[in-house]
Structures are given as C-alpha cells and as structure tokens.
C-alpha cells in the first residue's frame, strides 16, 4: 500500500465506524489522550441509524435503555419522546452526542476503509480508503457493525427493472415518494415487517414476497409521560446497575419458573403479560423456552393463535405463521399492524415457497404463475451478518495472512476482540460476543472500555504487539458452539448461523450465554493480565 495522502501522522489508534460503538470509542480514546482517527463511510455519525432510514424503522429495545450510560449529565438532559424510539430520534441522539463531546473533529466521514495491512517490522497498521488515503496506526479497531453489509439477492433480471429500486438498509436520505405507487416488498425479516405497513398506507397496492414467515410481536409503542421520564431519570443509576451484568444488558427480569412447572392459567397469564409488553421480550417468557422443545411449543402455540386471530383470511394466516423454526430461534420481529395489514384489499402476500420468482422484468416481477406489475421494488433482504463488513475489508495480518483465509473454516475469535494472526487489531461486537442478542448501546460501551484498557496496558508497559492466542480463540469458539448446541437456536436457518448467505460456514456467531456471563469472563481476562493474548 502506498501513501498518496501526504498524511504522515502516526496515530495510536484508528477506529473504523461511527455507530454507537465507534463514536464511543473515538470519544474515549481522545479523552484518554490517544492520537485517534475515526473513519466512517457515511457522511455523518449514526451507523445502523444513519443507513437504515426506511419508514417505520424503530429500535425494539426501550429508548431509555438503548442509550449511553457513561455520562450522567447526558443521560439526565436527553429526553426520549417514545418508549421505542424511531430512527430519526436515535440518529438525532447520536448526532447530539457527537456535538456535545466534540467528537466529529476526530473523524473522516464519507470515507470507506478498503484495506488494512499489518507491518511486521514496525508493528503498525496501514489503513487504506476509497479516497486514496493511507493512514498509519499502532492499533486498529473495527467497529464496523453486525448488520451493516446488506445483501443484494441474485434474482435474474433484477437490473432490468425500470421502476424505482430501494433497499431498506440504504434508504435515500431525502426519502422516497411511494404514495399512489404499486409496491413490491421482498423479504419478511424485521425490516420488511416494519416497513410494509407504513408503505401500505399510501400505496395503490402493496405485495409482500415472503420466502420464510417470521414471528412478530406487536410493539406497544407510545409517548413517555412526563411523570415516567422523571421517574426514569431519578432511578437511572439503579436501572443501569441492573442492566450492567444482565443477560441482555437491559433491566428487565425474566420469570424464573420453567413453563412446565406452572399451571396452565399461570402460563397463559405470563404469556399474555409478555405479549402485551411487546417486542423481543417475548423470547424470554420462560427460562426454558429456548432450550426445551415442549416449553417452546407452549409459547409458539400461544403466538400462533394470536397471529391467526388478526388475519381475516385463514389461508393467508396459514402462510404467515412460521412452521420451520421454534419460536425465538430467529430474531422475533416487532411490528405495528403487520398482520392486520393483510386484511386490506390492496395488500397481498406471495408465498415464494409455493410460487417462486422466476425473474424481475422491466415492469415488475414474474413468478412461476404470473406477471405482477410494480412501480417500485423494496428489498428488505437482510445482511451478511457479523462477519460481512470486516471480510469486505479483508485485513492482511502477520505473515501476509488474509482474514478470509483465517476464517476459511468459519470465524474464530477470542472473546470477539482478537483474531489469531492479526496483532494489534480488535473487532467490536463481533463473532463471539452477545452483541446482537443484547442492548447494543451498553454492549458497545463494554467492548470499547475493554479494548481501550488493553491498549493502555500495552502502552504503559511498552508492549509493541498484542494478539489473541490460537488456543484461547479455538477454545472460545468451541465454547460458543457448545453453548448454542444446548439450545434450540441451532434448529433455525437464521443469520445467527450464517444460513442466509450462500456458501457461508455455519457457525453460531453470537455468544448466547448472556451479556453478564460474557462480561464477567472479559473482566477476569483483564484482571488476570490477559492470559488469552500474547503480549510482546
């Protein structure tokens, strides 16, 4: 890699990404006195909340928890308007954080990292960008997101479509005027389920193309009252304390009694309560529902009945109710009026299992049975999760090894942070962390605190190189699989397992043993002087 930027600055650390994690990392690295450079492909901070601007995009973790905990004044001064915040509000929050702590000055925006290479002789990284710059740094931290590499499905004829083509994960900043249009939505994961009811409101017609149905629980969103916000502010320290070692990094507690130890009435009451609380918490009604098929069946049948009751046409209901995975083993979606939407005359469902797409034409979509005409096609087709963004950069580590070679038999990390063969490089919210199963705001704080503490450890001891030991990474990766194998999660073709990307090795990527257990393990690693890493 040759420098053509004329930039001779040697950084202590380069942090790639300006989402929850990157922004926090850059701020704290600067605060710790490190020479830090942040690089971000988007034109502003926000990460997921910068790119996913589609109508209806909302977080399924309560707003007051899905926010930074590190600064009491920030926490006290910011007002969340709704229980589940919408994308514009979360993005505004992250922009506010960037302004408040003056973080933008450390960033290069609109700059995509395209290469990263470790130099053996100097133990430094050279990072290249799509603008032709190269930057050198002792450490590099990839906070590039778990769900940030969108998939464009390989459907024949897709590039011949003459109408408007939109991706939920790359929604135009100026919005899209789809009122009065005939719209196709391809994909029925969280994004497709969130966007469809909003698009249906003003469309002439909306057709949802579903390959696999998903479970969705209604999101009981509403504005926070002033009294609630006051109470939350008063009890924030306790709320955060409760979250800090909790399984999902939120203050919510699970019912402790197993499903089959409760009477039918008690079970029904518990499920009804969780259903009404809404969202992903329905994955945690009973402690055994993700490990015991009989317990899972109880919850699944309850959800099936709830969904069936919303849909007028029994045949449509049968298509919309999943039958290929235990409930919760694919991320439970959260919706506002998704199932009810199908009761409207102008909304229809195409079950791709019965009626596959043959090709996309200039005017619409041709299935094996018919030609359907559209003005716009919306792709809500998911992401190359957890490894996609980092593999697209494909860093070159010690001895010239490429990341895709190191991951040839599946991703291997130690605690998510370190990859053997890649000294002085850290990945954030990566394979081997609870990340996607926990509250990302607090998870990101934990990740960057840990990494910055290790960097500090190296700096104060003149340690030039730090890298995960092969045996500790192997052990941790085996442990991930072991924990997952004890659950029902491995029975679903989910993106957790990489099943949505053709040719991707099936490895259960998140650590499913809970945020608290993971965090304790990371604490121990630090307290013991990083025995899982080689320091030299």
292 or 335, CB closer to ligand N01? 335
Q: Does 382 bind ligand N01 (CB under 6 A)?
A: yes
Contacts of 456 (CB under 8 A, 6+ apart): 32
Query: Using CA atoms, how far apart are residues 213 and 217, in angstroms rounded to an integer?
Result: 13
CA 535 to chain centre: 31
Q: Does 387 bind ligand N01 (CB under 6 A)?
A: no
Task: Give φ, ψ of 420 to 5 degrees.
Answer: -55, 135
Select from 55-63, 127-135, 370-378, 460-468 the region that touches ligand N01 (CB under 6 A).
Answer: 55-63
185 or 311, CB closer to ligand N01? 185
71 or 358, CB closer to ligand N01? 358
Q: Does 221 bind ligand N01 (CB under 6 A)?
A: no
Contacts of 293 (CB under 8 A, 6+ apart): 326, 488
Binding ligand N01 (rule: CB under 6 A), the pick from 148, 212, 243, 387 is 212
- Interactions with ligand N01, residue window 299-358 (CB under 6 A): 331, 334, 352
User: What is the nearest approach in angstroms of ligand N01 to the Cβ of residue 217?
Assistant: 10
- The tokens for 475 are 């052990």
On whether the CB atoms of residues 489 and 508 are closer than 8 A, the answer is yes
Q: Does 178 bind ligand N01 (CB under 6 A)?
A: no
User: What is the nearest approach in angstroms of ligand N01 to the Cβ of residue 92?
Assistant: 17
171 or 383, CB closer to ligand N01? 383
Q: Which of 393, 396, 390 is nearest to 118 (CA)?
A: 396
Packing angle, helices 87-100 and 20-31, rounded to 10: 10
User: What is the nearest approach in angstroms of ligand N01 to the Cβ of residue 29?
Assistant: 27
Query: Using CA atoms, how far apart are residues 295 and 311, in angstroms rounded to an integer?
Result: 25
On whether the CB atoms of residues 123 and 464 are closer than 8 A, the answer is yes
Query: Using CA atoms, how far apart are residues 534 and 536, in angstroms rounded to an integer?
Result: 6
Q: Hey, which residues does 118 pair with through a beta bridge?
A: 125
Q: Does 288 bind ligand N01 (CB under 6 A)?
A: no
Q: Does 155 bind ligand N01 (CB under 6 A)?
A: yes
Select from 11-19, 54-62, 112-120, 515-523 the region that touches ligand N01 (CB under 6 A).
Answer: 54-62
Binding ligand N01 (rule: CB under 6 A), the pick from 92, 109, 153, 220 is 153
Residue nearest to ligand N01 (CB): 189
Binding ligand N01 (rule: CB under 6 A), the pick from 87, 129, 190, 387 is 190
Contact flags string 421-440 toward ligand N01, x per CB under 6 A: ---------------x----
Contacts of 355 (CB under 8 A, 6+ apart): 367, 368, 369
Q: Which of 384, 385, 449, 458 is nearest to 417 (CA)?
A: 449
Q: Does 208 bind ligand N01 (CB under 6 A)?
A: no
Binding ligand N01 (rule: CB under 6 A), the pick from 143, 380, 403, 484 is 380
Query: Count of residues binding ligand N01 (CB under 6 A)?
Result: 27
CA neighbours closer than 13 Å in the CB half-sphere of residue 53: 15
129 or 500, CB closer to ligand N01? 500
Q: Is 187 left (phi over 0), alpha (psi -120 to 50) or beta?
A: left
Residues binding ligand N01 (CB under 6 A): 58-60, 147, 153, 155, 186-192, 194, 209, 211-212, 331, 334, 352, 380-383, 436, 495, 500
């Amino acid at each position: 890699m040759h420098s053509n930027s004329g930039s001779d600055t040697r950084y202590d650390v380069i942090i790639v990404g300006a989402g929850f994690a990157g922004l926090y990392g850059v701020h704290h690295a600067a605060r710790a006195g490190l020479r830090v450079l942040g690089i971000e492909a988007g034109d502003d901070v926000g990460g997921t909340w910068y790119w996913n601007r589609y109508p209806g995009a909302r977080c399924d973790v309560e707003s007051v928890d899905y926010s930074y905990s590190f600064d009491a004044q920030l926490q006290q001064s910011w007002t969340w308007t709704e229980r589940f915040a919408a994308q514009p509000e979360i993005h505004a929050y992250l922009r506010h954080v960037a302004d408040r702590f003056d973080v933008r000055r450390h960033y290069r925006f609109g700059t995509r990292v395209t290469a990263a290479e470790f130099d053996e002789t100097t133990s430094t990284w050279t990072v290249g960008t799509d603008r032709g710059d190269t930057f050198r740094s002792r450490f590099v931290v990839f906070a590039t997101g778990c769900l940030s590499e969108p998939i464009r499905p390989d459907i024949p004829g897709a590039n011949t479509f003459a109408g408007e083509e939109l991706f939920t994960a790359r929604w135009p900043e100026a919005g899209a005027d789809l009122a009065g249009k005939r719209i196709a939505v391809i994909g029925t994961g969280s994004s497709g389920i969130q966007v469809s009811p909003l698009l249906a409101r003003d469309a002439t017609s909306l057709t949802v193309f579903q390959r696999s149905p998903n479970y969705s629980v209604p999101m009981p969103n509403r504005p926070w009252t002033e009294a609630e916000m006051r109470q939350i502010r008063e009890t924030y320290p306790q709320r955060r304390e409760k979250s800090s070692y909790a399984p999902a990094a939120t203050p919510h507690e699970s019912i402790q009694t197993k499903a089959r130890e409760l009477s039918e009435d008690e079970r029904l009451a518990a499920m009804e309560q969780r259903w009404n609380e809404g969202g992903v918490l329905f994955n945690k009604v009973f402690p055994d529902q993700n490990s015991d098929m009989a317990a899972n069946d109880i919850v699944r049948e309850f959800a099936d009945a709830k969904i069936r009751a919303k849909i007028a046409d029994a045949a449509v209901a049968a298509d919309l109710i999943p039958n290929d995975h235990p409930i919760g083993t694919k991320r439970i979606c959260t919706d506002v009026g998704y199932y009810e939407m199908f009761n409207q005359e102008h909304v229809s469902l195409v079950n791709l299992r019965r009626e596959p797409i043959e090709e996309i034409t200039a005017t619409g979509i041709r299935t094996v049975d018919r030609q359907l005409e559209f003005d716009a096609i919306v792709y809500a087709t998911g992401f190359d999760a957890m490894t996609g963004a980092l593999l697209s950069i494909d860093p070159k580590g010690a001895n010239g090894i490429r990341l895709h070679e190191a991951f040839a038999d599946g991703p291997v990390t130690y605690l998510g942070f370190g990859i053997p063969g890649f000294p002085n490089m850290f990945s954030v919210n990566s394979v081997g962390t609870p990340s996607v199963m926990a509250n990302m705001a607090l998870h990101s704080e934990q990740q960057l605190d840990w990494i910055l503490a290790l960097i500090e450890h190296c700096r104060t001891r003149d340690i030039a190189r730090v890298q995960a030991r092969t045996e500790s990474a192997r052990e941790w990766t085996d442990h991930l699989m072991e924990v997952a194998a004890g659950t029902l999660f491995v029975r679903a073709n989910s993106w957790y397992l990489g099943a949505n990307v053709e040719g991707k090795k099936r490895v259960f990527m998140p650590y499913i043993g809970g945020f608290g257990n993971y965090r304790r393990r990371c604490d121990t690693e630090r307290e013991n002087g990083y025995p899982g890493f080689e320091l030299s």
